[in-house]
Amino acid sequence: MAEPMRIRATMAGDVADVKVLMNHPMETGLRKDAKTGQLVPAHFITEVIATINGAPVLAAEMSGGVSKNPYLGFKVKGPKAGDKVAVSWADNKGDKNSVEATIG
């Protein structure tokens, strides 16, 4: 099971500012284990989707080139305070995680 994500969504005028911290090892598959000398298997987020009240507002593809515990910040024009924002990801091993917050 994936570790919990942290999310914060605030309004600034008519723009929602969403910030998400995703807990994930983001292994490229190219790093060697210091003890065994073996390559650490690739394990990284491949897809991130964000919705507001169920309507998609962001879709992104990632790869092994993104650092451990990625931070994602984005702004969306149009939502209102009290709307629900949800962010989910899936990785190359089939693991998934999601988080939801109310825009404040």
What domains are there in the chain, each with its CATH number?
Answer: 6-102 (2.60.40.10)
Nearest to 1 by CA among 21, 24, 27: 24
Q: What is the mean pLDDT of residues 38-58?
A: 98
Burial of 50 (0-12, 13-18, 19+ CB in 10 A): buried
Q: What is the mean pLDDT of residues 34-62?
A: 97
pLDDT in tens, 65-92: 999 999 999 999 999 999 999 999 999 9
Question: Has this prediction a pTM greater than 0.75?
Answer: yes
Tokens of 53: 């009240």
pLDDT band of 97, cuts 50, 70, 90: very high
Look at residue 3 in the predicted model and tell me its pLDDT.
85
Nearest to 46 by CA among 6, 93, 12: 93
Parallel/antiparallel/unpaired status of strands 15-21 and 55-61: unpaired
